[in-house]
Amino acid sequence: MPSPFPGMNPYLEHPALWSGIHHRLITAIANDLSPQIRPKYIVAIEERVYQSSGEESLLIGVPDVSVQRARNNINQPNNVAVVTPNVEPIEVTIPLPEVITEGYLEIRAVKTNEVVTAIEVLSPKNKQSVIGRLQYETKRQTVLGSSTHLVEIDLLRQGKPMPILGKTIESDYRILVSRSEVRPKAELYGFKLKDSIPQFALPLHPEDQEPFLNLQKVINDIYEQGSYDLRVDYTCDPIPALSATDTVWLNDLLHQQGLR
């Protein structure tokens, strides 16, 4: 069953689904671009790994059996005089480091292995996590200060958009194409829930014909290949929540297609 939305499907942004969507997107974009840019270029799937800690980390509590065993030992009678504490301890959980692995793409020249273009698909950790955002923005600045082109795909409504200079762009989703030879100027495709995802040209070396990435087709194919019609409950509202206007539009759209 195809996706019922003309553009981005907001139900795919659900935290329980996005990790799988992100992995599929990275692979699908690589598969789409690879035949268009060979034999001069290859698409490499890369990963970065970092640790998150503090309140944003994975919380793992002490097993109950260990706590119970310690209490039993305290209550056992013995011949030693023990002063009863004034305050009883409470059971708490402590944050442990969470290892974050994120995929991204690099377009490399076959002869020199030069990274010509970096392609990033943003994740919630990039936009919301303090450590994840810092890590990503550091890499972003490194790319923007180099001769490597940057393509940044943001299909998440939640979280703070990546910084740009000038007036604020009101949009639900964004695609940024930053060509190294014209920086600090860049192309920003801002689009809303009701819009189809725009196609854009992938920057390469100036003498090369630039291939187009049809991200709308990629998303639609992922939806069908991953059987997301069986995993999404369209009787519920999407997470994160929509605006009041978009909620009315979504409700009408799903009613028209018999999904509500």
Q: Which of 140, 173, 147 is nearest to 13 (CA)?
A: 173
CB 105 within 8 Å of CB 118: yes
pLDDT at 70: 39
In DSSP notation, 45-112 reads EEEEEEEE-GGGSEEEEPPHHHHHHHHHHHHS--SS--PPPSS-----EEEE-EEEEEEEEEEEETTT
DSSP letter (8 states) at residue 152: E
In tens digits, the chain (260 residues) has pLDDT values of: 899 999 999 999 999 999 999 999 999 999 999 999 999 999 999 987 766 665 444 333 333 333 333 344 445 555 556 566 678 888 887 767 777 778 999 999 999 999 999 999 999 888 877 778 888 999 999 999 999 999 999 999 999 999 998 877 899 999 999 999 999 999 999 999 999 999 999 999 999 999 999 999 999 999 999 999 999 999 999 999 999 999 999 999 999 999 99
Under DSSP, is residue 149 helix (H, G, I), strand (E, B) or coil?
strand
What is the torsional sign of CA 258, 192, 175, 239?
negative
Q: Which of 231, 220, 21, 232 is nearest to 124 (CA)?
A: 21
What are the residues facing 149 on neighbouring strands?
Answer: 117
Tokens 């297609």 correspond to 257
pLDDT at 59: 31
Measured CA to CA in angstroms, residue 212 lies from 88, 108, 180 at distances of 65, 17, 18
